[in-house]
Amino acid sequence: MRQRYLFAGCLVLGAAFTTSLAELQAQSRHTPPPTAQTDKKQTASTPGSQQQQNEGARIFEQNCSRCHTAPDGFSPRISGTIVRHMRIRASLSQHDEQELLRFFNP
C-alpha cells in the first residue's frame, strides 16, 4: 500500500517537472534572437570578459542552438537550474556549464 502511494507521488512530481520544463522551453523559443546592438554592448566590455562571453556563445552554438533560441529574460536562478538540467542531458562538462552561466548572466 505504501509503495503505491510512493509510486503515485513520484509520478505526479515527474509530470509536474516535465510540464514546467516544457513551459520554459516554449518561452525560450518565443524569445527573439539577439540583435547586433546587444552584441555591440557585449564587445564594449573588458577583453577578458569578452573572451568568456565568446566561449559561452561558442558552447551555446555548438550544443544548445540545435533545439533552443538565444536565452533572454531568464533570471540567474532559473538559468542555473536549466543549465544544470541540460548539462546532464547534453553531456556537458563542468567547464561548459560555468561558461554557459557566464554567457547567460554577464
Burial of 96 (0-12, 13-18, 19+ CB in 10 A): buried
Distance CA 24, CA 21 (A): 5
Distance CA 60, CA 58 (A): 5
**Up-side HSE of residue 60: CA atoms within 13 Å toward CB?**
22
The residue with cell 556549464 is 97
pLDDT at 79: 84
pLDDT at 2: 75
pTM of the model: 0.50
Residues 20-27: what's their mean pLDDT? 62
Report domain extents, the chain.
Answer: 50-106
Q: pLDDT tens digit string along 39-73?
A: 444 444 555 566 666 888 898 888 888 888 877 77
